[in-house]
Structure 1
Amino acid sequence: MADAAPRLKGLVEQVLGTPLPVRIRAWDGSQAGPPGAPVLVVRDRRALRRLLWKPGELGLARAWVAGELEIEGDLYAALDLLSGLIWERGEDARSLGQALRDPEVRAAVRGLLRLAGPVPPPAPPREEVRRVRGHLHTRRTDRRAISHHYDVGNDFYELVLGPSMVYSCAYWRAPEAEGGTLEEAQRDKLELVCRKLGLKPGQRLLDVGCGWGSMAIHAAREHGVSVVGVTLSQEQAAYARKRVADEGLTDRVEIRVQDYRDVADGPYDAISSIGMAEHVGADRYLEYAQDLYALLKPGGRLLNHQIARRPERDESAYRVDEFIDAYVFPDGELAPIGTTVTQLERAGFEVRDVESIREHYALTLRRWVANLETHWERAVRLTSPGRARVWRLYMAASALSFERNRIGVNQVLAVKTPEPGGSGMPLRSRTWNG
C-alpha cells in the first residue's frame, strides 16, 4: 500500500507536538496534509535517515542538497511555514533530549526509524565543507573559507548577480514593480558609499574585500580617486583586473590578492568594507577595526557595511547557523549592531552614522533568486545540482530572515577623528542623501 506520507505526517507531528503546515508527498506517491498548501516532496527515505541521525537544520540541509527533499509551490511560503519548526524552535541536543523523555515521542521516533529503514545515512553531499583542525580566522583558514564561497565560478556569479557583479545589499530607491532594477539599485548603493566617504579626486581609497571590482571601478571612474582593492579570492581578482583594464582604469585601480591584515602601504583617505566583515569573526573583530584605523589618515572615514543578527538574551547561547556554516559561509559569524559599534569605538573610531537598510536586502535577495531560477539549467551545468540547490535555499531563506527582522544589515560610517577633535564632517547630517 502507498501509505508512507500519512504515516510520516502522523509520526512527525507526534514528535514535534504540532500539526505540519505543509503537505507531504512521499517516495511511494502517497500524499497527506492540508490541501492547497505548499508540498514538501520526500523523494527518498534516505532523507529520513539523515534527519534521524542529525535532527534539525543540518539534517534537512543535507537532504535538500542531495535532492532527497524538494518543495513544490511557492518556495518562500513553504519556508515561512516551516521556519517555526526549524529555525525558531531551538532544535539543539537539550531540547531534543527533553522531548525524548516523553514515551509517545520515543515511540514515534521508533516508528520513523522503521519507516526510514535500518541503513545509516549516506555521507554528506560533497558540497559540504570538510572541516580540518586548527584555529578559526587565521590567514590560512580564512583563505580556504573565502575560496569555498567565492571561487564557485565567475560565470555562475554573473547569472545570479547580473551585470553589476555586486554581491551585497543593493539600495533601492524604487522596487522593480515601480520601475527600479537590480543594476540601478546596486549603482545607487555604490554611489551612496562614495558619498558617505566624501570621496574627492586625488584621494586614496582602500576597498577591503573588493569582490569583482565594482566598488573600486565606480569610485575611480565617478569620483577620481586612486583605489587599492584586496580580496582573498584568486578568481575574483582575475575578473576584477580584467574589468579594470576594460574600463581603462589600470593607472588608478590596483587589485591585489591580499589579506587585509597584510596591507602596509597606508595611510588612506578612506576605507570601504562592504559585506566583508561577516568573515572576520568575533574573536578577531577588534583586531580588524584596529588594523583599519591604523591605515587611515587623521580625519579619514570608514564605511563598514555588514549583516547583523538580533542579540540573544544570553549571548553564550548563540550558535552559528549550521546550514550556512556547512554549505555557504564557512566560519562566518554575525554580531549585533551594538557589538559592532562598540568594537569600532574601542579601536578609536568615532561612529558618526548608522543606517539600517534591512528591507533593501530582502528585495536584493529575491532578485538574485529570480535570476538563479531563470537560468537554473545553466547554473547546474556551471557548478553542480547540489551547489545550485544550496544557493537557492540560502538566498530564499535569507530573504525571509531579512523580511521577518531575524537579521539586518547596516552601514556604519566611522571617522578617525583628528586632534583636537574636529571630525571634518558636515554640520548637517546625512548630506549624502541630498
Structure 2
Amino acid sequence: MASAALRLTTLAEELLGAPLPVRIRAWDGSESGPPDTPILIIRNRRALRRLLWKPGELGLARAWVAGELDVEGDLYDLLGRLAGLIWERGAEAKDTVHPVRDPRMRAAALGLVQVAGPWPPPVPPAEEIRRRHGALHTKRRDKEAISHHYDVGNDFYALVLGPSMVYSCAYWDNAAGGLGFTLEDAQRDKLDLICRKLALKEDDRLLDVGCGWGSMAIHAAREYGARVTGVTLSREQAAFARKRIAEEGLTDRIEIRVQDYRDVRDGPYDAISSIGMAEHVGSVQYGQYADDLHALLRPGGRLLNHQIARRPEKDEGTYQVDDFIDAYVFPDGELAPLGRTVGTLEESGFEVRDVESIREHYALTLRRWVANLEAHWDEAVRSTSAGRARVWRLYMAASALSFERNKIGVNQILAVKTPESGASGMPPRARVWGG
C-alpha cells in the first residue's frame, strides 16, 4: 500500500459522503487530508479492526483508550470537527440508505476490511467495565458502578481537580471568560452559593448526598456552622474526606458515612445538598430518590439538587445511553431532561422555587480540569494507568464541547418541603440568597 493515509481518507469520505474534516497520519507515516487542521494519528491497524467490530463511538473509544489513536494539534478542534459530522448529520443519517444495500458504501466498507488486516478483533482495554448483569440500580450494582468511577486513586483526582477536590461544575462570577479567577475560587463560590440557597445557619443539620471528598461538608461546617452528615459509596472518597475533616478540626461537626442514600434513616434534616450525584440514580429509581429526600427533610426544609441534564428527544423512546460514557466513565449513569426532573420532584411533594442554568460554567470548569491533567500527564499516568488518563482526557474535553454547544446542560434546582400552612420560608424576591 503506497499510502495508507490516502487510502483511509478516500474510504472514509466514501462512507461519510462528505470530505473528511481532519488530516490523517497512518501507521506507515503517510498523511492525507486537509492541511492546517488537527491530525488524527492512527498508530496501528488494530484501531480499524475495533471500528469494524464496534462501529461508531465505542470502537473509536476503545482505540483511543488503547493508545492506537492520538491527536496532534488542538484536541478540542479535532473533536469539534468530528462531532459536527455526528451532531449536524445525525438527523440525515436516519434517512440514508443502509450501507449494505448501497453499492458505493458497501465497496468502501469492504475496502476498509482489506486495510484493517488480519482478524480476530482486539480485546477491549482493561479500563472498560465488564458486562454487567441483573437489574439496574440495585444497591450492589450501584456500589460497583460508583467504585469503577471514583475508586481510581485519590492522587489522580487531586491532579485533575486541584486543591478544592470538587468534582462538579464550578461557579464563575465572570462567566463570560473566567479570566482572573482560579478554579479554586470558582469552586469555593459554587459551594457558598449552595449554602446561601439552602439558607444554612448555625447548627442546622445538612445531609450531603454523594459527598465526594468532603468539600461541601467542610465549607458548610466551617463557614456556616452547620452539622453535616455526608454519604458516599466510595471508600476511597470517605477515607480522604475524613482525613481532611480531621485536619480542619471539624470532626465534631461532620460525619462521613459509606452508605447508600436509600439507607439514611436519621432525619429530619434542615437541608439536603445533592451535587452531581443524581446522574447516578437512573430513571427507574428517580421517583424513589425524590421521595426519600422529601421524607428526610423537616417541614420547610430545602433541597439543592445540582444535576446535569440532556436535551429532550422528540420521541423519548429513542433515547440511548452514551456508549463511551457507559463503558468507561459512568456505568449505568443516565441523564434526564430538566423538565422531567422538576416534574418528578414536584410529584414527590416538593415545591420547586428556583432553577438556575449554569451550563457555560461547566464548560469553563472542564477546560480547567483538562488543562490540569495535561500539565501533570506523566504523574497522572503513574497514579492510575495510561488508559485511564486517556479516558478522562477524552471524556472531559468532549463534555466541555457538549456544554458549549448546548447538547447537555447543568442546573441547580432549589426545592422546598413546604408545610401545609404554605409558609415556604423563601425570600419574596428571587435569588436573594441568605439566612
Q: TM-score range by the shorter chain?
A: over 0.9
Counterpart residue number, 1:118: 118
Match of 2:223, as an amino acid? E
With normalisation by structure 1, the TM-score equals 0.97
Are residue 297 (structure 1) and residue 305 (structure 2) matched?
no
Counterpart residue number, 2:432: 431
Verify the 8 A CA contact 2:65 2:387 in the aligned structure 1.
yes
SS in structure 1 opposite 2:433? helix
Counterpart residue number, 2:170: 170
Divergent runs of 4+, >2 A? 84-97, 174-178
CA-atom RMSD, angstroms?
A: 1.7
Match of 2:155, as an amino acid? D
Counterpart residue number, 1:183: 184
Is the deviation greater in 169-178 or in 343-352?
169-178
Q: In the aligned structure 2, how far is the partner of 1:237 from the partner of 1:331?
A: 22
Q: How far off is 1:260 after superposition? A: 0.1
Counterpart residue number, 1:372: 373
Q: How far off is 1:96 after superposition? A: 8.5
Are residue 13 (structure 1) and residue 13 (structure 2) matched?
yes
Match of 2:364, as an amino acid? L
Counterpart residue number, 1:279: 280
Aligned CA distance change for structure 1 residues 117 and 97 (closer, same or farther; 3 Å):
farther
Aligned CA distance change for structure 1 residues 93 and 150 (closer, same or farther; 3 Å):
farther
Task: Give 1:29-108 correspondences, 5 Å limit.
Answer: 29-86=29-86, 89-90=89-90, 98-108=98-108
SS in structure 2 opposite 1:398? helix
Counterpart residue number, 1:267: 268
Q: In the aligned structure 1, how far is the partner of 2:223 from the partner of 2:317?
A: 45
With normalisation by structure 2, the TM-score equals 0.97
Q: In the aligned structure 2, how far is the partner of 1:152 from the partner of 1:96?
A: 42
Q: How far off is 1:178 after superposition? A: 2.8
Q: In the aligned structure 2, how far is the partner of 1:99 from the partner of 1:116?
A: 18
Match of 1:201, as an amino acid? E
Match of 1:300, as an amino acid? G
Q: How far off is 1:419 after superposition? A: 1.2
Match of 1:107, as an amino acid? A
Match of 1:383, as an amino acid? T
Verify the 8 A CA contact 1:380 1:388 in the aligned structure 2.
yes
Deviations 1:305-333 (A, max 9, x none): 00000000000000000000000000000
Verify the 8 A CA contact 2:178 2:364 in the aligned structure 1.
no
Aligned CA distance change for structure 1 residues 86 and 380 (closer, same or farther; 3 Å):
farther
Are residue 139 (structure 1) and residue 109 (structure 2) matched?
no
Q: In the aligned structure 1, how far is the partner of 2:429 from the partner of 2:86?
A: 46
Aligned CA distance change for structure 1 residues 41 and 245 (closer, same or farther; 3 Å):
same
Q: What fraction of aligned residue pairs are identical, expressed as a percent?
A: 75
Q: In the aligned structure 2, how far is the partner of 1:245 from the partner of 1:283?
A: 38
Consecutive unaligned residues of structure 2, counting only runs of 5 or more, are: none
Deviations 1:79-137 (A, max 9, x none): 00000234555599977971321101001111000000131221100000101210110
SS in structure 1 opposite 2:395? helix
Q: How far off is 1:421 after superposition? A: 1.1
SS in structure 1 opposite 2:285? helix
Verify the 8 A CA contact 1:55 1:91 in the aligned structure 2.
no
Q: How many residues align?
A: 434
SS in structure 2 opposite 1:355? strand
Q: In the aligned structure 2, how far is the partner of 1:348 from the partner of 1:152?
A: 37
Match of 2:14, as an amino acid? Q
Counterpart residue number, 2:196: 195
Counterpart residue number, 2:361: 360
Q: In the aligned structure 2, how far is the partner of 1:371 from the partner of 1:205?
A: 31
SS in structure 2 opposite 1:430? coil
Q: In the aligned structure 1, how far is the partner of 2:99 from the partner of 2:428?
A: 58
Match of 2:257, as an amino acid? R
Aligned CA distance change for structure 1 residues 84 and 433 (closer, same or farther; 3 Å):
farther
Q: In the aligned structure 2, how far is the partner of 1:92 from the partner of 1:291?
A: 43
